[in-house]
Structure 1
Amino acid sequence: MSKPADKKPGGPAKPKVMPGYMNFLIGGTSGMMAITCVQPADLLKTRMQLLGPAGRNTSVFTVANDIVKKEGVMGFYVGLSAALFRQATYTTGRLGVFNGLFDYHKGHWGQPTFPTKIVIGMVAGGIGAFIGTPAEVALIRMTADGRLPPEKKRNYKNVFNALSRITTEEGVTTLWKGGAATVSRAMVVNGAQLGSYAQAREMLLPAMGDGLPLHTVAAMISGFVTSVASLPVDIVKTRVQNASKGVQITQMSVLRDVIKNEGVLALWSGLLPTYCKIGPMTVLIFIFLEQLNKLYFKYVA
């Protein structure tokens, strides 16, 4: 990510450009900071997506109450280690690649158009998702464990225990189970999230000026767009990754089954907890990202 520099005497200002590795480091750090705040909503979203036809009319409040009764308040933080590891891999990759490509385009061809921002976001999301798929598989399984009967619980101790057991018990390729679904979702999510945030920020900047209110409003717009666009592929991805050992299902078969057995609107099941997670998550990620960028350019660059 680049920032304007002071003008040099006798010449035009030359923008400061953040080193590539800092884009990755700051991106991952902002994601890890954000997920610690919204993990309960993420767990609720996953549990609702796994309810299937039987839970079609189950409310988010019913699911939340069930978690408290059976697992206690700390049940909302089951899988936090996997969530943090996912941010350390997936978000580090996607934000680092996005900011790197954005700066490259801006330096060679000028400010990217909105369609270009979406494409850059999709490319960044696909790369980040491939890197983060093992953590994603562990996260889905750990957050789903609480709703399983005792004899079917996997009882992973933490993300590293989950990755180790999945590798030894089911083979290393299982770590990329649902990889295509994860990459597909990530391309949609990041095309919508990063593209819409950058566009909203650019459009609102003249009226609001650069600062926390701008970052918050742009991020909330981005979070809504992302929630609506990504939820159908998110539901498909979740069900593919949570399938039992030895069960082979495809994205298309899951999609057909959901529409046939639960109706088209089931593709947006859990929209409220999804936005309750993605909205604040988007706000927090970009607020942390912008503030860390400012600190870098103030004290390091």
Structure 2
Amino acid sequence: MAPALTADSKQSATARVLGSATAGLTELLVFHPVDTISKRLMSNHGRVASVAKFNQVIFRDSASKPMGSRLLSLFPGLGYAAGYKVLQRVYKYGGQPVVNDFLTQNYASTFTNLFGPKTGKALLSATAGSIVGIGEVVLLPLDVLKIKRQTNPESFKGRGFFKILADEGFGLYRGWGWTMARNAPGSFALFGGNSFAKEYVLGLQDYSKATFVQNTIASIFGASASLIVSAPLDVIKTRIQNRHFDNPESGFKILRDMARNEGFSAFFKGLVPKLLTTGPKLVFSFAMAQTLMPAFDRLLK
């Protein structure tokens, strides 16, 4: 029988909520404009062959306005983004350790016997991340509204948040299957890449003892793997969510049209900007959450 894997130190639920919420808020304030740029690039159907076209895609109606107005145009949907981002980070970063603790308590020996203590521990963490990623679909309406505000603001037509909820109902869950299909491998790669780096690159036995620098290095591995793995499904998901509320176009039709009209490379549209922009955002918030949760735990004791 393989040797038992070593369990990480556990943080309290309060510490996990505080650490992940703080990471989410900080990420939002720093990176929301970057997220808007990435979403608008993914939503663009044509080629961006000039600086003028690039400005038109990025800044929309503000492309010809002064720089200050153009920069402000990158903050649409900030209220939706705040609600979504904080809830998402609390759920994902704070929830994965809970699922990981459960799997460790009940299935550690299975993972150890199948994969060995080191790989088993990393794969257990990745599996916990994938389970949490699938459940993230419950937050989809906030994500939909955030993306629409960033890429298709005319679909709101002056309606407020509660009016949209009443009008659209379960329509705000449009694309839920594609979201789950994206989140399962994406979250598996995020937490798995992070854990493999801590296990095999950094040689850590207790992941919660990692420094901010070590968490950052591990997060780079996890975030890069996650963005690459989930890129094709993320493009489809974004196009489903940014269309008008009354547009019934399915994800499979979008997939077929992309393959027919735009080619294979269309499924990786925005990947380089995402690696250069969303990548650091994910690395930043993931590393911060992993560092803050143990820190808050020590402060609360």
Task: Normalising by structure 1, report the TM-score.
Answer: 0.81
User: Could you say which residue in structure 2 is the equivalent of 1:38?
Assistant: 31
User: Could you say which residue in structure 1 is the equivalent of 2:98?
Assistant: 100
| Equivalent residues of 1:118, 1:194 under 8 A apart | yes
Partner Cα distance (2:50, 2:184) in 1: 30
Q: Does 1:55 align with 2:47?
A: yes
1:261–1:232 distance in 2 versus 1, CA, 3 Å: same
Secondary structure of the 1:246 match is coil
Q: 1:45 Cα shift? A: 1.0
User: Could you say which residue in structure 1 is the equivalent of 2:299?
Assistant: 299
Query: Which amino acid in structure 1 is aligned with residue 88 of structure 2?
Result: Y
Q: Which moved more, 1:260-269 or 1:99-108?
A: 99-108
User: Could you say which residue in structure 1 is the equivalent of 2:138?
Assistant: 131
Q: Deviations over 1:167-225 (max 9, x none)?
A: 233x3112212222222222232111122112212222238x93222112111222221
Aligned ranges 1:200-215 → 2 under 5 Å: 200-206=197-203, 210-215=210-215
Secondary structure of the 1:206 match is coil
Q: Does 1:122 align with 2:115?
A: no
- Tell me how many residue pairs correspond in the alignment: 276
Q: Deviations over 1:126-159 (max 9, x none)?
A: 112x22101111111100136xxxxx453568xx
Secondary structure of the 1:173 match is helix
Q: 1:24 Cα shift? A: 4.0
Query: Which amino acid in structure 2 is aligned with residue 122 of structure 1?
Result: S
1:58–1:166 distance in 2 versus 1, CA, 3 Å: farther
Partner Cα distance (2:203, 2:35) in 1: 34
Partner Cα distance (1:291, 1:272) in 2: 27
Query: Which amino acid in structure 1 is aligned with residue 73 of structure 2?
Result: G
Partner Cα distance (1:16, 1:191) in 2: 21
Query: Which amino acid in structure 2 is aligned with residue 97 of structure 1?
Result: G
Partner Cα distance (1:23, 1:233) in 2: 29
- Percent identity between the two aligned chains: 20
Secondary structure of the 1:253 match is helix
User: Could you say which residue in structure 1 is the equivalent of 2:113?
Assistant: none
Aligned ranges 1:255-294 → 2 under 5 Å: 255-294=255-294
1:73–1:255 distance in 2 versus 1, CA, 3 Å: same
1:35–1:199 distance in 2 versus 1, CA, 3 Å: farther
Secondary structure of the 1:257 match is helix
Partner Cα distance (1:252, 1:136) in 2: 20
User: Could you say which residue in structure 2 is the equivalent of 1:78?
Assistant: 76
Q: 1:298 Cα shift? A: 2.1
Q: 1:21 Cα shift? A: 5.1
| Equivalent residues of 2:19, 2:296 under 8 A apart | no
Note the aligned Cα RMSD (angstroms).
2.8
Partner Cα distance (2:156, 2:250) in 1: 23
Secondary structure of the 2:23 match is helix
1:69–1:215 distance in 2 versus 1, CA, 3 Å: farther
1:155–1:277 distance in 2 versus 1, CA, 3 Å: farther
1:15–1:145 distance in 2 versus 1, CA, 3 Å: closer
User: Could you say which residue in structure 2 is the equivalent of 1:28?
Assistant: 21
User: Could you say which residue in structure 2 is the equivalent of 1:141?
Assistant: 148
Secondary structure of the 2:74 match is helix
User: Could you say which residue in structure 1 is the equivalent of 2:64?
Assistant: 69
Q: 1:99 Cα shift? A: 0.8
Q: Which moved more, 1:281-290 or 1:106-115?
A: 106-115
